[in-house]
Chains A and B, each alone.
Chain A
Amino acid sequence: MERDQKRLQELSEALQKFQDDLQSAIDARQRLESQQAENKAVQKEFNGLDEDADIYRLVGPVLLKQDKSEAKSTVDGRLDFIGKEITRTETRIKDIQQSSEKSRMEMMQLQQKMQLAQGPG
């Protein structure tokens, strides 16, 4: 009985931790999504530009002139990276959800068991 209580405590702490992890993973996922949207907008803008259009990049307080091809490949690289990060975060979210579900099931079973044990007594 006491062991069950302790296990229940452990499980509920684990569940809380899973919830926190899940929230931070979801936040990260949302951040990545908005970055992706912004970079996509920039990429689209670059694709519609003339070959000789002047592109500047804000570095600290100054604007540096940059080659169109260079700017383009930077943005493409960023999008590539963000895409990978999104898949990674999604796997993480799925993992957390699975482990959380497992703990939840165990907790429910344990609670049922304890209720049954308590019932007749």
Chain B
Amino acid sequence: MSTQPSTSTSSGASTGGQIDITTLPIPQLSQLQTRLSQELEHLSTSHARLRAAQARFRDCMRSIKDGVENRKADTPLLIPLTTSLYVPATPNAKKPNTVLVDVGTGYFVEKSTKDATRFYEGKVEDLNKNLSDIEKVVGVKNADLRAIEDVLRAKVLAEQQGGGDGKAGQRKEGGGG
């Protein structure tokens, strides 16, 4: 619970407004390491979730194309009541090319297949943006983590060799977050 665990705190160090991680003591470094790995784990879970959501939207688009737009009039349609029980269905004759789209928070909107496809394309596009944002952050954090691990390893090694005479803090590594 130290007061300056952040690499972005302004303090006199070589890397312009950032703390030089080589000046930090070992306990703080390992704290930083734990926190960064936790953040990375969180980010990669989010990334996986977004990917899954994107896959679902793509499935919806494919279903619209194959199941509604390109359906032959005599192709039978079945509705799953449970995962193992289906009943035959007939599409609404008055609105043959409309679907109900879940737009979120419990609202469904009736859309033409074209509009629905556009809606899902927009969603996939939004997710792409979010995904690349996350990838950027992950890249930066990974580099940070690696830098910290390098310094930490060097310090532990120096301490073991020097019998813990405290000289480790003066080593220059040159790698700043």
Contacts and interface: CB of A to CB of B under 8 A. Distances in A.
Contacts of A39: 104-105
A66 B103 CA distance: 14
B104 A41 contact: yes
Contact of B110 (A15, A54, A59): A54
B119 interface: yes
A54 B98 CA distance: 11
A84 interface: no
A58 interface: yes
A39 B105 CA distance: 7
A104 B1 CA distance: 10
Interface residues of B, number: 13
A71 B107 contact: yes
A55 B58 CA distance: 23
22 contacts: A38-B104, A38-B105, A39-B104, A41-B104, A42-B105, A45-B104, A46-B103, A49-B109, A53-B109, A54-B110, A55-B108, A55-B109, A56-B100, A56-B107, A56-B109, A57-B108, A58-B107, A58-B108, A75-B105, A75-B107, A78-B105, A104-B1
Given A15-B1, A55-B109, A58-B108, 15 more contacts: A39-B104, A42-B104, A42-B105, A42-B107, A53-B110, A55-B110, A56-B100, A56-B109, A57-B106, A58-B107, A59-B106, A63-B108, A71-B107, A78-B105, A104-B3
